[in-house]
Structure 1
């Protein structure tokens, strides 16, 4: 699993598919570069809260990604999780279910 770090990678992912869920929005975009490693990136804006709130949300997203993306992520695609207000109030297990559901929807949509 590779981490997205450049702004251009996030902008490219924004042109992909969007899957809004409670607590976050998942963006998925196949790279088409022949590399099967899934990419993952996280972004949480100041609209969500102060620095402590944003950092906590990013830590939770990183833990979710480590647990779910290697097994259920789309190979050769970039995944970006965008934090939404109230995402920290949702139980971690429930966030995992939402991420799993969004990845299943993405896989069905990309299979067409």
Structure 2
């Protein structure tokens, strides 16, 4: 069986894009991160070649100095690649906000925080969840 194709993820690069996601007022806070979500609006997202999921990362000075902020963003980026990219429902923009605990939190717990936030915001890709629940617990197919 071939490994799953890597999901194409776009980036939020401009302040108005980040503000639009924050303005949707859909967020979930966990000890390791804050996830904000917004469904795409066709008028605001007209480019058909644009990836179905776009993400932005932010870490304020509350997280710590430059070294801590960069480490927090790197850890969030890695968690995004493993959890959000393959499991997020298409048609959404996401902003991950680092917290001071992001740097110290175990990586497995950080991934679990992201998974929990996706499910709480109801943007977890349902067909993947259904396939995972149908799979036997011992890993045999």
Normalised TM-score (structure 1): 0.90
State the SS of the aligned residue for 2:121.
helix
| Superposition map of 1:79-94 within 5 A | 79-94=94-109
Is 1:5 paired with 2:20?
A: no
Between structures 1 and 2, the one with greater helix share: 1
Q: 2:86 aligns with which of 66, 71, 95?
A: 71
Alignment match, 2:71: 56
TM-aligned CA deviation for residue 24 of structure 1: 1.1
TM-aligned CA deviation for residue 54 of structure 1: 0.2
CA offsets per residue over residues 34-79 of structure 1, 9 Å max, x none?
Answer: 7661111000001110000000000001111111122211211111
When Rg is computed on C-alpha atoms for both structures, the one with the higher figure is: 2
Give the conservation status (yes or no) of the 8 Å contact 1:38–1:69. Answer: no
Distance in structure 1 (CA, Å) of the matches to 2:11 and 2:27: 19
Structure 1: runs of 5+ lacking an equivalent: none
Structure 2: runs of 5+ lacking an equivalent: 1-8, 124-141
Normalised TM-score (structure 2): 0.72
Q: Which aligned runs of 4 or more in structure 1 are off by greater than 6 angstroms? A: none
Superposed CA RMSD = 1.5
Distance in structure 2 (CA, Å) of the matches to 1:61 and 1:105: 18
Between structures 1 and 2, the one with greater strand share: 1
